Every structure is written in C-alpha cells, then in structure tokens.
Structure 1
C-alpha cells in the first residue's frame, strides 16, 4: 500500500477509535481500528514507514479524543489563540503515546509478522497504557478498556482493572489483524477461539466480590450549574453561596447532602459563619453536609472535600492537574503562564487516602481528575464502604469530555465493588452501582438536585487487593520473553 493511501487511512482509523468511548459508545470500533492498524504496521519493513503510520494513527486518535482541551483554555483561559496553540501542542504530544506503542511492538516482533500481530503489539500497547498512567504525573484518558464498560468484558475489571480489559481488547484485535492479513480458515479459527476463550474467562470471573451492609442511605446531590465566569466573580460569591444554602435546607432530613468540587467560591474559613449554622441544622435533622471547597492552611492552599461541622473533617486532593491546579515551572517562566492554573493560586497536593466519616459510613473520596486513576481510588479500600467523587466539568463545555469522565468513574466503581456518589457542578452527576451501572443520572448544564439511595458495601475485589501489578507483571513478563527471543535471533 502506498504512503499516500496508508497515512490517511491510519489517520481515519485513529479518529474512529475514539468513537468507542462515551458518549458514542460504538463498542466495536476498538476491535476494528486496532486490528486494522496492527495489520498495517506488522507488514511494514521500514522503521520510517512504521513511525509515520503510527504517528498518523496517533494524531487521529488524539485529535478526536482530546479536542475538548480547546474549550477549557479558549473559554476560561487565555482565549482562542492560546487555546488553539495549546491544543495543537497537546494533541501532537499525545499522539506520541500510540506511536510509541505501535513502533515498540513492531520492533519487539523482530520481523516475525505473526508474532508482532498476536503478541508484541498487544503487550506493548497495554504496557504503554500503564506507563502513561504514572509518567509525568500520569494520564489515563482514552485507555481502550473503558470502551467495554457495558460489555461482558467488563467482568474482568474487578480482577485485573481497566488494563485487564484493555489487554482483552488488544488480544482480540491482534487475532483479527492476523486473519485480515492472511484470511485462511485456521487463522479465522484462531480468532474465534481467542474470542471464545476471553469470553469464557470473563464469564467465569463474573462474580459478586463484595456484599451490601447496613441499610441504604438517602442522598441529595446539589448540581448548582454555576458558570465558570460567574463563579470567580467577587460580586457573585454571596449569591452563589445563598443558592447552595437554599438548596441544602430544602433537603434537610436526607442522610447525605453533597455539594460538588469547589462549590464554595471562597476559602472554607471565609464561609464558616454561614456553613457552621447550616451544619448544626443538618445534624439536628439527621443529615450530614459534605461539600467541595478550597481550604487554606498557612501559605498552602488545598482543593478539598469537607464534612462540615465543629470541627470540620477534610480530604485534600492528592493528584493535582498540572497547569490546571498548579503550574510547573511558574518560578522559571514568571508571568508567561499566568493565564493557566486556578484563580486562587497554586494548590498543594494532599497526602492521605484515608476515607472521610459521614453519616456513620466511610467515604472513599476522589476529586475530579483523581477518579481516572484506579489504584488511587482503590487506596481507600477496604475501609471505605462508599465512594464519593466530586468534580467540576464546566471547563469541558458541551463536548464528549464530561461523558468520558463519567465513564471512567463507572470503571472505578466496578473495579472496587463499591457504589459511587458523583456530584458535579454542571453534570454529569450520578449514582453509580457497584457493578458500574448507572442507577441515577442528572442532566448536563442544568441546575438540579439529584436524589437517590446508595448502598454501602464491604469486602474487597481482587483488584482492590493487588491493584494493577498482576496484570502489569503478566504483560512485562511477556515482553521480557519476546526481548530474549529477539536477542537470540
């Protein structure tokens, strides 16, 4: 296939792959597109052709998958020019991730095209997904395992996490690629056998790893739908606070009343004269008030979840978003980077994953971006019997990002066997079942109060005990074996 045809097809395949994620949920696209790119890369003999093809695929994947970064910067940061430049740079960098996975798999296959398709490319793809979850503060967005949250393959998640689901996807893509390159009956049989084997493993592992305990709790999630431009306007602070106070008082009597991430547009101590009386009213009515707020302690600022009361109890966000909640190299760059970061100044990362006690139960808390990291959410187990995620996805506008964020939150509930309360400023607020299913869901970009019950759970899934290490160890062992074979060859 000539370069003029191969590169546009690779670009299109990368773009189509992102349609496997929410809100499109075309669950078949990861299998088809990865099979196509595995097949295309495996038959190439030139490193330059491999890199060009892989990067074209990566550009399509990144451009269609994380385009929403533009909204965050253009609408709430430095304007359209800054948004365009920053998005272009980030897409170009993100495209290097699938490039590294595809080129690395091709190199590891050492010229054996079948081995490249069936083992090298799938194993390196999963290894790269895991590496990027921690390298340079980490990013898990667009890991292909998320696309299967509503398929039988999701049963692998409580055992092996999202990367276990990813491995199933890329192994199936590998045998499909083999059948595409050489459509012989025995290779079609291998593809069918692999699919059947993985399906059987998912069926065998489909178990209830955790069990419900105690009575369900009544919950009210307050979705204020506060526009970002209004939120940080000093003249609007009083009105915003009054809106949340009014919504809270209307729900007194519910076990938990939840405000979203940084619902308070001021530091928590500046609003205690209003919040402490509300917390006392809530306690008297049998309710507990849990809210997202910035917290200042000396020179340090934290993005926090607070159980209001006297004294208040805090969870400080541990995994901060670079250039969103703090700016690396600010001291070096000076004012050049002032258009990014939080309006209240750089946040400091918290250290403890300990659950917050509220309404007599232990809440495993994550704030916004943290819910995209499986091991960090699972760190609250086994003590936590419920999960709580607060977020503010207003930055993303009417893009696919809020739906992708919700999809990742669902995977965390499934991995840990815990129900999750998800409270967001503009949506999508939800109650997520311990099986990852959506039990209740609120609207997007509408003010709303989402009421529901949540069921506490006890017990620990295999993933909750061991995290990503068994799956990662398996992938690295396979890569090690291929490396030894390559050296001998």
Structure 2
C-alpha cells in the first residue's frame, strides 16, 4: 500500500498580511485622523473626539495588519497628530526667527516625521507582539496596544531630551480621567484613553458589552478618584500679583525698545505691594550688568519698605560664555534667590551637536544657555515655599515631581514664568495653560503663571483655573493663594506607577496568549 502524505489545501493570503505599505489614501486618512486630535485639546476641548481619532487608528492597525503596514500607519497618524498639535512652531521660526517660509515649513514637516516615529513604534511593536504571542483581538486591543501607546508617549518625553507636547492625556484634565492624574500622571491617562478608544473598536466585534463596560468602569473610577484629597492646606494664604507685560516679541530684545520695557516692568512691579510679585520669563531681557545702576536697587528698596517678595525672569551670567535663563528672587530682609532653567529647549536655548548651521539661519537671541541643576530649592515667601519653573519646563511632570520628592523642604506652590509671544496668536497659549493644569493635578499643588502675553493665571491644587487675565493685553492679576503640602502617589513614584501598569497589561496579555496555546498543544499530542 502506498502511503500518500496529506497536505493542507492552499489558502489565499490575507491582503492585509502581505507586508506591503498601505495605500496613499490609507496613509492620508491616518494622518487626517491624527490631525483631528488637535480639537480634543484647548482651546477647543472636545476631548471625546480623541477617543474617535484613536479608535480609527487602532481599528486600521488592529484588523489584520502586518507589522510593516502597522509601522506606516502609525507613522502617518503620528505625523498628523504632531504637525497639527505643534504647527505654531512655524510662527517662531518664520515670523520671529527670520527663517524663510519654505525652510520653516520643511522644518515643521521634518519634526512631524520624527515625532511620527513614536506612534509608528507603538503600532509596529504592538503588532509584532500580537503575532509572537498569538493574541486574539481583545487582548491586542485592550491590553497590548494601549500599553505600547503609553510607552511611546513616555519615550517621546525623554528621547533626545524629549518633546512631550500634545500627549494624549492633556486633553482630559477636565474630563473623568483627570482623577487618575495624581496616581498615574499624564502618560498613565494616555494608556486609559487608549483603553477607552479600543473599547469603541470592540463594537465591531461580536463581544461588545464587556468592552463597553470596561470603558464605562474606567471613566467612573476616574470620576470617583477626582474627589480624593491627596494634599492638604499648609500655612497662611499669600497675596500675589502676577504681571503680564504684553511685550511684542519683535520688540523684546531690540535695543530701541529696551528702555520702554524696563520702565514698564519697573512701574508694574512697584505699583502696589503684595506678599509675592512675579514677573514673566526674561521680563528683564538683559544681564544685570547691562542695567542702569539703580534699577535693581529700586526693587530692593520697595521690598524692604512694603514687605513684598519678588520673583522675576532675567538672564544671569556666570562667565563670558556661561549664562542661564533664570528667575531671580528678592526678599524684604535682603534675601536673594536664583533658579536656573534645567530643561532647555533644543535650538531655542541650546544647540544640539551638529546643528549650529541651522540655528545660524535664524535670529534667536540668548540661544545657548547653560543648564541648571535638576533639583533646586524653592523660594520662601512667608509661610509658603514657591518653586519656579520656566516656560517649557512644566511640560515635564516627572521632573517637577522629582523636585518635590527630593527637596529637603518640598514646595507648597508652583510658579511658571513664560514668554509665549514667540508663537503669535495661536493655540500655544491655551495648550500651555492646559499643561500647567495637569501639573497641578499630578502634584496637588497650586500653579501660579506669570507670562508675557498669556496665559497669566492662578490654578488651584485640583487643576481648576481660579483667575485668568485675557490674553494679549497688559494687566496684573491679584489673588490670594493657599499653599498645599503632602505627596500624591505621582510625586512619590513618578512615572514608575504608569510603567508598572503597562507592564501588568503586557504580562496579562502574554499569560493569556500562553494559556491559549496550551489546549492546542495538548490536542496535538
């Protein structure tokens, strides 16, 4: 008898699994979906839209994509997300930096292509793990992809010094998921956003109710957590005056306008006393040795006479080629204070190796600062301890948490001094205000904001804006602010809690895939 080897009938390969790039319309659709996420952030605040944008992206990747196809879709989605969310950088490069329009547009496009790599990583790595672990669609969508999405946003926050602007969690600081901020931080909220988006994708599957129940449970838990008091009042409230000078960016560093700027801020800073008078980043745009001899003495005398404390932005030099973007402090008993910006902006405040040719194409003053220490002491103001951060620094929540965790005397109030006049009348100002609100949620500390043209505001320890000066006008915000003490879980653990959540999700997916393989193996034996 002749034994014939049984062969399986040929099966036509799934076109989605051929490993080819998606079509140009598919890439364009992914980029548009990413770009629409802009409307989930301030000043629009349509945070549910973000669920839909991510759900479309997850569906396109999750319904049978090859790893290569997932990488391309992720790159396109991340490109659209980044260019839309950070398009205002074009204004700084072109209008104020003097870079030609085509080069400015090309620079923004290249930045978007670079930032898109992180979403590509999330999609590609998730798809690779799905195949390696033989995961069903629910485990892939509800566990692996959300965890990798969060990891990709976290990586975007530190690779090459990081640029975590428009991380998905920022859209939810007034939404139910904000309750998770003191525990998991903005990246952890991003993971939960992805879980909710994946639950929408599960509506295309047979099992719908469990996924929707999961999303509803996550949102309900966030709402419940938002009522937890993680910190407590300490000391007596202080009176603050937050100055908004509204200096045009094309005048700020011009010699012809220097005297006008100095007079404006001197008059604003001595118009009325307060426990704390705060002026924006580089409110005084020249080094102390370039000021009139009696200029800073005016503030010392006023502080002594009125009992006021000052914090104001000014560049401070430590040598002919060493200078810092700083906040200087003056107290009524002759106290002096200095905070130097630690996290510098690439190209704007330091020049990455090999890119001096690019910065030479622009007109950016004070463009190569030295870096301050990672942990710096706060400034004592009566019963409160005020910790400054300068402009872009409050995008890095883990660094502010580290300052509070490692300081011998943790701050009770946070102060952001900024100059966003670089970005014209764009969405940069409301986006930055939204970022500051997230820092208050994570740390349980009020955030004071003193800015050149907006958003000058008082944010309480729950991320709520208590007072706000309208953008683009000269004004002063006067308020009473209560400092807060105590540690949130995010202060204690930083991003480790979020990373532990991601690890648990990946571990559960791997375990489920392993157990799913065992019955098939047993039947074969």
Relative to the length of structure 2, the TM-score reads: 0.87
Residue matched to 1:327? 351
| Superposed displacement of residue 45, structure 1 | 3.6
- Given the superposition, is the C-alpha separation of residues 10 and 255 from structure 1 closer, same or farther in structure 2, using an over 3 Å criterion? same
Match of 1:385 in 2: 412
Question: How big is each residue's C-alpha offset from its partner over 1:224-245, in whole Å with a ceiling of 9 and x where there is no partner?
Answer: 1111111111122111001101
User: Unaligned 5+ residue runs, structure 2?
Assistant: 1-15, 17-21, 518-525
Q: CA deviation at 1:55?
A: 2.3
When structure 1 is superposed on structure 2, of 43-52 and 85-94 the one drifting more is: 43-52
**Residues 19 and 25, structure 1, Cα contact 8 Å, conserved in 2:** yes
* CA distance 1:386–1:380, shift in 2 (3 Å): same
- 1:368 is matched with which residue? 391
Equivalent position to 2:196, from 154, 168, 172: 172
Aligned to 1:105: 126
User: 2: CA distance between counterparts of 1:218 and 1:86?
Assistant: 44
1:28-67 mapped onto 2 (5 Å cutoff): 28-67=48-87
What does 1:443-462 align with in structure 2 at a 5 Å threshold? 443-462=470-489
2:479 & 2:111 partners in 1: Cα distance?
39
1:85 paired to 2:106: yes
- Residue equivalent to 1:349: 371
Aligned length: 482
Cα 1:350–1:233, aligned 2, differ >3 Å: closer, same or farther? same
Cα distance, 1:388 vs. partner? 0.5
Deviation at 1:145, TM superposition (A): 0.8
Match of 1:471 in 2: 498
Shift of 1:275: 1.4
Question: Does structure 2 retain, via aligned residues, the 8 Å contact 1:13–1:37?
Answer: yes
2:244 is matched with 223
CA distance change for structure 1 residues 172 and 224 in 2, over 3 Å: closer, same or farther? same
Distance 2:79 2:153 in 1: 16
CA contact (8 A) 1:120 1:482 kept: yes
The answer as to whether partners of 1:130 and 1:472 remain within 8 angstroms in 2 is no
Q: Distance in 1 between matches of 2:24 and 2:129?
A: 26
In the aligned structure 2, how far is the partner of 1:11 from the partner of 1:84?
17
- Deviating above 4 A after TM superposition, structure 1's stretches of 4 or more consecutive aligned residues are 332-336, 480-489
Q: CA deviation at 1:346?
A: 0.9
TM (normalized to structure 1)? 0.93
Contact kept? 2:351, 2:367, Cα under 8 Å: no
Larger radius of gyration: 2
Of the three residues 56, 76, 90, the one matched with 1:70 is 90
Offset, 1:311: 5.4
Tell me the distance in 1 between the aligned counterparts of 2:366 and 2:79.
Answer: 34
Tell me how far apart the structure 2 counterparts of residues 157 and 336 of structure 1 sit (CA, whole Å): 38
Q: Report SS of the residue matched to 2:403.
A: coil
2:11 match: none
Provide the residue aligned with 1:419 in structure 2.
Answer: 446
CA distance in 1, matches of 2:219, 2:357: 54
In 1, distance between residues paired with 2:154 and 2:218? 21
Counterpart secondary structure, 1:95: helix
- Aligned equivalents of 2:447 and 2:505: distance in 1? 35
> 1:128 corresponds to which residue?
152
Gaps of 5+ in 1: none
Tell me the equivalent position of 1:115. 139
CA deviation vs aligned residue, 1:5-30 (integer Å, no higher than 9, x gap): 53333222111122111111111111
Aligned to 2:13: none
Displacement, 1:204?
A: 4.2
Contact map agreement 1:219 1:257 (CA 8 A) in 2: yes
Q: Secondary structure at the match of 1:290?
A: strand
Structure-2 separation of matches of 1:454 and 1:464: 21
Deviations along 1:176-227, one digit per CA (max 9) or x if unpaired, are 11213x2x3xx22112210232134224433011111222211111111111
For the pair 1:142 / 2:166, whether they are aligned, the reply is yes
